């Protein structure tokens, strides 16, 4: 049974402009996924798995699981191509409260922590360049009390400037932000391909490296699973385009194309650059190197190889940062559109962007940057909540398949129901590892999510009271009498 999709816009989508195409959507997906993970996690994976072949297998398994998630979200995004992404899926499947909690935690916890993590990582990468070592030096001192002061580094000041510039770019129109994302994503992909090609020319390279083992590794099933967990951190971000679905042209077709095309491209890039690095370097060197790609490139072109990898990481992180700034406010915009918090859904009259939500997101991110939170703490804060909502969002596909008819022309995923089940189980394992590794910060993140519940009910009551006060006297009297009658009957 099928029907025609006749409502391609959500309640607030008409306020925004559909100025993004499938190329922009693919760039958002690729830009969101490829950050610093591809350059940082191979060493940890080698120490965990113990051999190049197992590390490569872990990348293949992680890619397959990410593809399962992409398949699931492609169907969800095609059937509900509205601004808000996961929030929309959860709201329509499980009700307004779970949806609001998702949007609340994303806007107040996940996105600011994620953006702060990315920009701090970007400053750390730039600081490895000889000409930018000043970034770690103290620039000024903030005195709050006689006993409490915070030193602000030049790196933190540069991070604030970067956040301000990219927020301004997004503020001035989704098309500008999308074009920036497209250009820098192309640059990112080309850079990774060039690095992989150069590393493959290493004279010290050998196929035998894939058969070698690291004696000091964790090994076994636990070691291999730890390596798979690392790949899933590196693959995170394929759902980014669903948040801006209300600004994508022909979203029913473009969203699945963007999600699937972007995810497959990233898998190919990851497998390619890892194969090149593992061909060039022995397993012991990979395990001991903080940046295996830089070590491999240095063998071929000398000291300038490390600088090239730093530039590639900076470009990757800058693109990821812009994608996060682009996507984050759209969920808040969708969640508060018809509530007493609708000020967050304010759209700029000229640029047609969620302007106030963008500014608040920049402010929250800046506070985290100035607070001096460590890279790992911010990373844990964003990951422990983000993956939880990925599980909940993916689970909604079972609700829609059971209660709704097929919408003509929309994407229908392959492998249902086994593919989404496998994805949910695998991400649950990842979430367990994240909670076990940092239970205190995970508990804080959970408390942050639950804090949205009283805000949801207070907002709903305020909205109800405002509606009653706005009614003319006869209508208000009828409303009160109706409520009184209802109470008497109950």
Element holding 316 (H helix, E strand): helix 304-335
Spatial CA neighbour of 415 closest among 71, 64, 63, 65: 71
Q: Which of 248-252, 310-314, 352-356, 468-472 has the lowest mean pLDDT?
A: 468-472
Q: Which of 12-16, 36-40, 92-96 has the lowest mean pLDDT?
A: 12-16
Other Cβ atoms closer than 10 A to 107 = 25
What is the reported pLDDT for 3?
A: 46
Alpha carbon distance 61, 231 (integer Å): 8
Alpha carbon distance 399, 489 (integer Å): 35
Alpha carbon distance 411, 74 (integer Å): 7
What is the reported pLDDT for 408?
A: 76
With cut-offs at 50, 70 and 90, classify the pLDDT of residue 234.
Answer: confident
Rounded mean pLDDT of 76-98?
A: 92
Q: Is 352 left (phi over 0), alpha (psi -120 to 50) or beta?
A: left
Q: Which of 39-53, 377-391, 468-482 has the lowest mean pLDDT?
A: 468-482
With cut-offs at 50, 70 and 90, classify the pLDDT of residue 462.
Answer: low
Does pLDDT of 315 surpass 70?
A: yes
What is the reported pLDDT for 4?
A: 40
What is the reported pLDDT for 394?
A: 95
What is the reported pLDDT for 434?
A: 64
Q: Phi first, then psi: what are they for 353, rounded to 5°?
A: -125, 155
Average pLDDT in the chain: 83
The angle, 0 to 180 degrees and rounded to 10, between the axes of the packed helices 37-49 and 220-235 is 170
What is the reported pLDDT for 154?
A: 92
Other Cβ atoms closer than 10 A to 98 = 18
Highest mean pLDDT among 186-195, 291-300, 422-431: 186-195
DSSP state at residue 490: -
Rounded mean pLDDT of 298-317?
A: 86
Q: Are 189 and 302 in contact (CB under 8 A)?
A: no
Rounded mean pLDDT of 335-354?
A: 78
Rounded mean pLDDT of 54-81?
A: 92
- Which residues make Cβ contacts (< 8 Å) with residue 129, sequence separation at least 6? 307, 310
Rounded mean pLDDT of 346-352?
A: 89
Beta bridge partners of 152: 140
With cut-offs at 50, 70 and 90, classify the pLDDT of residue 55.
Answer: very high
Other Cβ atoms closer than 10 A to 343 = 11
Alpha carbon distance 365, 165 (integer Å): 13
The angle, 0 to 180 degrees and rounded to 10, between the axes of the packed helices 174-199 and 292-301 is 60
Q: Burial code of 211-232, b = ≥16 C-beta within 10 A, e = fewer?
A: ebebeebebeeebbbbbbbbbb
Q: Which of 109-113, 126-130, 138-142, 300-304 has the lowest mean pLDDT?
A: 138-142
């Amino acid at each position: 049974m099928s029907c025609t999709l006749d409502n391609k816009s959500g309640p607030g989508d008409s306020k925004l402009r559909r100025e993004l195409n499938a190329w922009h959507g693919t760039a958002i997906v690729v830009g969101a996924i490829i950050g610093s993970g591809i350059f940082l996690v191979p060493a940890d994976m080698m120490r965990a798995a113990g051999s190049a072949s197992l590390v490569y297998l872990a990348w293949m398994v992680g890619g397959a699981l990410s593809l399962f998630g992409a398949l699931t979200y492609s169907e969800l995004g095609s059937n509900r191509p509205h601004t808000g992404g996961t929030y929309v899926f959860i709201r329509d499947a499980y009700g307004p409260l779970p949806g609001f909690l998702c949007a609340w935690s994303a806007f107040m916890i996940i996105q600011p922590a994620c953006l702060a993590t990315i920009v701090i990582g970007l400053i750390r990468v730039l600081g490895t360049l000889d000409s930018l070592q000043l970034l770690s030096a103290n620039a000024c001192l903030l005195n709050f009390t006689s006993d409490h002061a915070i030193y602000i580094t030049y790196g933190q000041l540069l991070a604030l400037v970067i956040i301000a510039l990219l927020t301004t770019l997004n503020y001035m129109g989704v098309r500008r932000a999308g074009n920036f994302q497209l250009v820098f994503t192309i640059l990112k992909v080309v850079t990774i391909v060039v690095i992989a090609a150069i590393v493959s020319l290493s004279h010290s390279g050998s196929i035998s490296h894939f058969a070698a083992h690291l004696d000091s590794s964790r090994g076994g099933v636990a070691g291999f699973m730890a390596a798979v967990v690392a790949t899933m951190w590196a693959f995170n971000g394929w759902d980014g385009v669903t948040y801006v679905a209300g600004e994508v042209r022909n979203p029913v077709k473009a969203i699945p194309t963007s999600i699937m095309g972007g995810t497959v491209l990233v898998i190919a890039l990851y497998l390619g650059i890892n194969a090149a690095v593992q061909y060039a370097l022995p397993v012991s060197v990979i395990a001991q190197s903080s940046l295996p790609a830089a070590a491999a490139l240095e063998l071929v072109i000398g000291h300038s190889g490390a600088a090239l990898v730093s530039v590639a990481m900076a470009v990757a992180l800058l693109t990821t940062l812009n994608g996060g700034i682009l996507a984050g406010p759209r969920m808040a915009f969708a969640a508060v559109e018809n509530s007493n918090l609708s000020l967050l859904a304010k759209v700029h009259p000229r640029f047609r962007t969620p302007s106030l939500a963008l500014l608040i997101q920049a402010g929250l991110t800046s506070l985290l940057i100035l607070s001096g939170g460590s890279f790992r703490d911010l990373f844990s804060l964003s990951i422990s909540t983000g993956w939880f909502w990925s599980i909940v969002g993916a689970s909604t596909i079972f609700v829609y398949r059971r209660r709704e008819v097929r919408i003509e022309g929309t994407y229908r995923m392959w492998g249902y129901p086994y593919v989404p089940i496998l994805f949910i189980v695998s991400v649950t394992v990842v979430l367990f590892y994240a909670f076990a590794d940092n239970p205190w910060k995970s508990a804080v993140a959970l408390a942050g999510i639950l804090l949205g519940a009283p805000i949801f009910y207070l907002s709903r009551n305020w909205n109800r009271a405002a509606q009653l006060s706005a009614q003319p006297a006869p209508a208000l009297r009828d409303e009160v009498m109706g409520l009184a009658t209802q109470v008497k009957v109950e």
